[in-house]
Amino acid sequence: MIATTRCKGGREQVREYLIEAREKAGLTQQDVANRIGISRQYYQMVETGERQKRMDLSLAGGLSVVLNIPIAEIVQRESAAQESERQEGGAHDAET
């Protein structure tokens, strides 16, 4: 079973960045999915925050090309989201 996460904090920023880039490119979720070679349902999960916790480089690379955005920006935002989640988890653990 694939671990999923709902968007929050840093994840929300990644989600908004991808949606904005897709809309700016004038593409639908189906267009992006077709060009990357994934299902629309999976791409929808990427945008809504329900997906594997880590975005792999092949997906980030595909998004970079299709959405005409720097892969470094995607990776940086994804890394920041993961760090934010680690910090939130640590803070929660300290409270319990």
Specify the number of domains making up the chain: 1
Structural domain including 20 reads 16-82
Instruction: Give phi and psi for 26, each to the nearest 5.
Output: 70, 30
Find the CATH number of the domain harbouring 23.
1.10.260.40
49 falls within a domain: yes
> What tokens were used for 54?
């880590």
46 falls within a domain: yes
**What's the pTM?**
0.75
pLDDT tens profile 36-93: 999 999 999 999 888 766 788 999 999 999 999 999 999 898 888 888 878 887 654 4
Name which residue leads in pLDDT, 96 or 12. Answer: 12
CA diameter of the chain = 46
Residue 85 CA to residue 87 CA, distance in Å, equals 5
Residue 62 CA to residue 36 CA, distance in Å, equals 5
pLDDT at 6 over 80: no
75 falls within a domain: yes
Q: Do 4 and 45 contact (CB within 8 A), yes or no? A: yes
